[in-house]
Amino acid sequence: MEAVAVLKNCPLSPRKMRIVVDTIRGQKIDKALVVLQHSQRRYYAIYVEKLLKSAISNWKQKNDNADESNVRVSTVFVDGAVVAKRMRTAPQGRAYRIRKRFSHITIKVDSINQEQLTTEA
């Protein structure tokens, strides 16, 4: 049974967050956590790691603490959220616009069927 965790208005840009999220898509949860802990983009990976742990906890509650060895990250996606607009001073009395982008992250975890286990092995 599938479990979902959603993080709204994460103060990091969706473009850079997608790079981190793409590394864990489709992997088993134990491997995904290790990948996130050793990610080059650690500041971004902290948010995804926390959200993945929340999704795993939600899965455990739905499945009555079943065995989590066959659980994988089935779906992960990052959407754009609000854009905070700021002004920066520029030469000759002008102003440049700075856009601080936010993102929404959604993670779905699900158990692997026996058919999928045989094809992966």
Tell me the one-letter amino acid at 113.
Answer: N
CATH label of the domain that carries residue 116? 3.90.470.10
For the chain, how many structural domains are there in total? 1
Contact 97, 86 (CB under 8 A): yes
- Range 105-111 average pLDDT: 94
- Range 105-117 average pLDDT: 79
Say if residue 116's pLDDT is above 70.
no
Coil/strand/helix, residue 15? helix
* pLDDT, tens only, 22-55: 999 999 999 999 999 999 999 999 999 999 999 9
Predicted pLDDT at 68? 77
Of 9, 5, 1, 8, which Cα lies nearest the Cα of 76? 5
Q: Which residue has the tokens 């856009």?
A: 99
Say if residue 119's pLDDT is above 70.
no
Domain housing 76: 3-120
Phi, psi for 38 (deg, rounded to 5): -110, 25
**The whole model's pTM is what?**
0.84
Q: Which residue has the tokens 């993945």?
A: 52
